Amino acid sequence: MAFELTEDFIKELQEHLSLAENNAVLELVNEIPEQDLSAILYELETEESVALLNILTTEKSAQVISELDTDIRLKILKHYSPEQIASFIQFIDSDDAVDLINELSVKTGEEVIAFIQNPEKADHIIDLLHYDEDCAGGLMAKELIKANLNWTIDRCIEEIRAQSKNVDKVFSVYVVDDNMRLLGLLSLKKLLLSDEHAIVADIYDPTIKSIESYRSGTEVADLMRKYDLETIPVVNVQGKLLGRITIDDVIDLITEQADLERQIMAGISNDTEEDDSVWLLSKSRLPWLIVGMIGGILGAQFIGLFENVIHQVTAMAFFIPLITATGGNVGIQSSSMIVQSLARDSTYIAMNPDRFIKGFVVSLINGIAISSLVFIFNLVLKQEMDLALTVSIALFCVVLVSSFMGTITPLILFRFGVNPALASGPFITTANDLLGLGIYFSVAHLLYSF
């Protein structure tokens, strides 16, 4: 049965912690998975979290700490010495250990590494620290199971048994040569069913997907999604096996990227957290609000240029919100589709004429549908024919132009190496507002012959 975090549970846990009733705390949390325990820590004060972790075993505490977000983890780790942090690191994968160390100050990180008792673990961490955190090398863990091409089945089983002590989850057995070059995969089923005197070379599968350490995290995610992989080996340019990336690491990456895209599309700085100070949260949102404000001022000034038109046909003012809202919505829809496509495939068939033609036809259909509905609505309300035509023709043009803007702007930004998500949110909305108003009053100028 899945664990359910309730207010009563938190109150009971806090009461036991305040009274230092360690046995009662253990009885309460002992069967709860590490992932759920980490969620509990978000509901506790930092001192309470530290008290809880001190009651748990070092191994379980380490797993809980590795599941936490950076801000909460840093608050907790401030209560531990470098030696104590090193003891936690002994029980987590090298990739998670590197993430943790990168969050610490340089001095503290170096001290933590110095206290790691397992020399191999320390070497793995030092090696991974050289990689950028967003590339395949930065995502990989060094702990894996490998088998030499020339081993007998009997020896292979013994070696795998020994290597498994340092690997939490065994997804694959990688076959390498004497120079550690990756050759293929070894099926555990074939391994168990083969004669003990046979050699690995006779039973391994040379078909394997791997990725170079310098490749981006997005490329890792694309490859694993395309071939439905649970894990993927990481190699250097010579094909030497360096480590492996598991699906949980990729899910974390995709989640972070999705959060980032949502923040940018909403006009929020990409380095904010919900627990940041009021000042930082305000600072992160203010720039794009100012962009929207400037757009609003420009829009007001733009409307002022056509003040005489509005004086002559007052009813035109009633449809300004419809024009601007439609343009903004269409632009956001189009840009969101392009941003999603670019995220799925950086080579995106964006320059394929068929894509543009399809988008144009969709906009054409939507424009005709929306403008027709508004035209009928105006006729039912017995508005002037010229006004009904002005609003409908303007809406039709706004849908086409806004769709084009929403499509082309992310592609231009992507072409120049700028995050295409910047094309969404306040930027695209403000631009389409101004274009929509220009189209609306231009159509009115033509039809009314002002």
pTM of the model: 0.64
pLDDT at res. 85: 96
pLDDT at res. 315: 82
Going from the first residue of the chain to its last (450 residues), give the mean pLDDT of each consecutive group of 10, the final group possibly shorter: 83 93 92 91 94 95 92 94 95 92 93 93 92 90 94 93 84 92 93 89 94 92 90 94 90 73 56 60 70 78 78 83 89 80 57 74 92 91 87 94 87 74 68 88 81
pLDDT at res. 306: 76
Burial of residue 334, with CB atoms counted within 10 A of its CB: 0-12 exposed, 13-18 middle, 19 or more buried: buried
Domains of the chain: 7-130 (1.25.60.10), 145-255 (3.10.580.10), 278-448 (1.10.357.20)
pLDDT at res. 261: 62
pLDDT at res. 277: 62
pLDDT at res. 291: 72
